[in-house]
Each structure stands twice: as C-alpha cells, then as structure tokens.
A and B are shown apart, each in its own frame.
Chain A
Amino acid sequence: QVQLVESGGGLVQPGGSLRLSCAASGFTFSGYYFSWIRQAPGKGLEWVSYISSSGDYTNYADSVKGRFTISRDNARSSLYLQMNSLRAEDTAVYYCARESGGFDSWGQGTLVIVSS
C-alpha cells in the first residue's frame, strides 16, 4: 500500500538548518509530483513547496522562498526539504504529500521546532 514516512524533524536554533526526508513505498515514486505542506501548532495547513515528477520544476511559498530547497531522488524513492535560516515562525509539523489531482496520500508528519 502507499506509504510516506517523514523524518528529520527536531529542535533547532533560530538561523539554523535542518533537512527533512520523506521515504515513499508502495507505488512508482517517479510518476508523481510531491509537495511539502506544514501546519503550525493550532493553525491551518500551509503549502510550502512542490516538485515535479522529474525534479525539473519547483516552486515555493513566499514565506520560505530563498531559504528552503525541495529535491528528490527517484532512484531512492525519496523526497527532501533542505531548510536554512530557520525562524521561529517555521515551527510546524511538516507533511510530505503525493499529488494526484489533489493530495491523495500524506505522511504522518515530522515536527520542527525553531527555538533558542
């Protein structure tokens, strides 16, 4: 069955960096677009970034543009999010989600806390 498992979250100081990973299984990873979507504590969903199936096309929310980089390794069926210059407002649960029309599969999320 389709499975997405995020990892890499944790506590980081403001200005620090973190790399999130999302391991996919149960389907042909290379055939899908993916997005990272985050949810701050007690808040709604916020789209962060997407990447095309080949990795050629990406885009970012204005709130993370220039600080976050999305990438993928189709050979490893893995999605990544490199997060630099982290701020307190980046504190959230980060979900990876497969795109098939809508976001039809989601991981369980990984918590990122930016605090000194």
Chain B
Amino acid sequence: QSVLTQPPSASGTPGQRVTISCSGSSSNIGSNSVNWYQQVPGTAPKLLIDSNNQRPSGVPDRFSGSKSGTSASLAISGLQSEDEADYYCAAWDASLNGLWVFGGGTKLTVL
C-alpha cells in the first residue's frame, strides 16, 4: 500500500483533458513539493513535473501540475496517443529521518 494515493486508472480520447489526483498527508505533500513521473512500459521513468508545477526542458506544455494542501494533480490537455503510460506522483516525507514516497501509479489509456 503506497503512502500517496492515486487512482489506478484513467482514460480519455485524443484531444481531451485528463487529470490525475494524488493524495498525501501533512508530512509529505502538505509540507514538500510534488513531482510527477511518466513511465512508458518497459522503459525507465521520466521526470514530467518538478516542484509542483515546473516542467523540465523538453516536456510539452500540455502537461501541468498543481498542489493544494495535502493533494496534488497532474493535468494533461490535448491528449495524444503517445501519452498512454503509467504516471506516478512522489514527494519527500519528513518523517523517519526523511524518505521519498511514491503514489501507486495511474495507468492512462488513450481510447
């Protein structure tokens, strides 16, 4: 059972906007930044959103992140077939001398 809670699946049609939620607690999301990762099956994860809402170089602006309290969201607008992947949220957790915690992942299907 993951510390951060994500829906196991999400779906949308090409061109649609999809959001993926991530819920945590005061010791992780409530007091630290959230990062989002995209993982195409069979490949290593890729940093998609840094520090709640910052896109690393090369990440399309169709991807955006937000955070409020102990929850965060990833939004994908103008959905494309290549967006079909697993998405994970992560945050630093200040408990137990500090550790990283991940969400269980959300499998995004482009219908």
Instruction: Mark A residues whose CB is within 8 Å of B.
Output: 35, 37, 44-47, 50, 59, 61-62, 95, 101-104, 106-109
Q: A59-B99, A101-B33, A102-B90 given. 13 additional CB < 8 A pairs?
A: A35-B100, A44-B88, A44-B105, A45-B90, A45-B105, A47-B90, A59-B96, A59-B97, A59-B98, A102-B47, A103-B37, A103-B47, A108-B44
Instruction: Mark B residues whose CB is within 8 Å of A.
Output: 2, 33, 35, 37, 39, 44-47, 49-51, 54, 56, 86, 88, 90, 96-105
Indicate whether A104 sits within 8 Å of B50 (C-beta atoms), given known contacts A61-B99, A95-B44: yes
A95 → B minimal CB distance (Å): 6
CA distance A30 to B15 in the complex (A): 43
Give the number of A-B contacts (CB < 8 Å).
Answer: 58
A-B residue pairs in contact (CB < 8 Å), sample of 30: A44-B88, A44-B105, A45-B37, A45-B39, A45-B45, A46-B102, A47-B90, A47-B99, A47-B100, A47-B101, A47-B102, A50-B99, A50-B100, A59-B99, A61-B99, A62-B96, A95-B44, A95-B45, A101-B35, A101-B50, A101-B51, A101-B54, A102-B35, A102-B47, A102-B50, A102-B51, A103-B37, A103-B90, A107-B44, A109-B44
B101/A106 in contact, CB under 8 A: no
Interface SS of chain B? strand
CA distance A37 to B100 in the complex (A): 10
B8 → A minimal CB distance (Å): 10
B44/A44 in contact, CB under 8 A: no
CA distance A78 to B45 in the complex (A): 20
